[in-house]
Chains A and B, each alone.
Chain A
Amino acid sequence: GENVEQHPSTLSVQEGDSAVIKCTYSDSASNYFPWYKQELGKRPQLIIDIRSNVGEKKDQRIAVTLNKTAKHFSLHITETQPEDSAVYFCAPRGASGSARQLTFGSGTQLTVLP
């Protein structure tokens, strides 16, 4: 099965600074790489994702970069705002057989300090 490691586990940044969270996975056949944001008491929400044939994707202040050779992908948030404070999860998806489930990282608690 897929092994996923996510770093750091906690991250505090000043408002306006950038935040980067990294996710390393083990299954070289993984082909879909989403990031979820979960605010306290709410549902995990898909914020950005990338497929294996693309190296980078950007959506306003959020970007994801993928390095398939090294088997890691990263979430980049620029110009952070207090409302970005939440737990962020990476969740690569396998490609073999019926393995459509997401394998979640342990999460990163991001705190944006005003």
Chain B
Amino acid sequence: EAGVTQFPSHSVIEKGQTVTLRCDPISGHDNLYWYRRVMGKEIKFLLHFVKESKQDESGMPNNRFLAERTGGTYSTLKVQPAELEDSGVYFCASSHDRVYEQYFGPGTRLTVT
């Protein structure tokens, strides 16, 4: 079974530019989560999809962040325009609806200069 995959693994952009991160969950997992780890701090929840619907987006920092999951398969997280404080590692995780375990992707390291 393939694990959660994320693309790109690294992204370096300038302040004010736009970046789109992609997450492919484990096949059959309806629940998809985005988390972020800012340098040296804890991993923080951003939002949660159940299939294509946003179940909880209470962790999204501001309206510069837009997440989508059209068709209920892969998800994208767009940051527009990027700011310096957006730098960090963005993780995606997925879980089956009937279990609690969340499986993480390798993360996308975003650097905003």
One digit per residue, 1 when the CB lies within 8 angstroms of any chain B CB and 0 when it does not, for chain A 36-60 equals: 1000001111100101000000000
**Chain A residue contacts of B103, Cβ below 8 A:** 46
**Chain B residue contacts of A42, Cβ below 8 A:** 106
Query: Are A98 and B42 in contact, with the CB atoms below 8 A?
Result: no
Query: How many residues of A are counted as interface, with CB atoms below 8 angstroms from the partner's CB atoms?
Result: 23
Query: Are A98 and B56 in contact, with the CB atoms below 8 A?
Result: yes
Tell me if B's interface is mostly helix, strand, loop or mixed.
Answer: strand
Query: How many residues of B are counted as interface, with CB atoms below 8 angstroms from the partner's CB atoms?
Result: 23
| B55 contacts A by Cβ under 8 Å | yes
| A88 contacts B by Cβ under 8 Å | no
A32 to B91, CA, bound (A): 20
| A99 contacts B by Cβ under 8 Å | yes
With A49-B100, A49-B101, A51-B100 given, name 6 new contacts (CB 8 A).
A43-B91, A102-B33, A102-B35, A103-B45, A104-B35, A106-B41
Residues of chain A at the chain B interface (Cβ within 8 Å): 32, 34, 36, 42-46, 49, 51, 89, 91, 93, 98-107
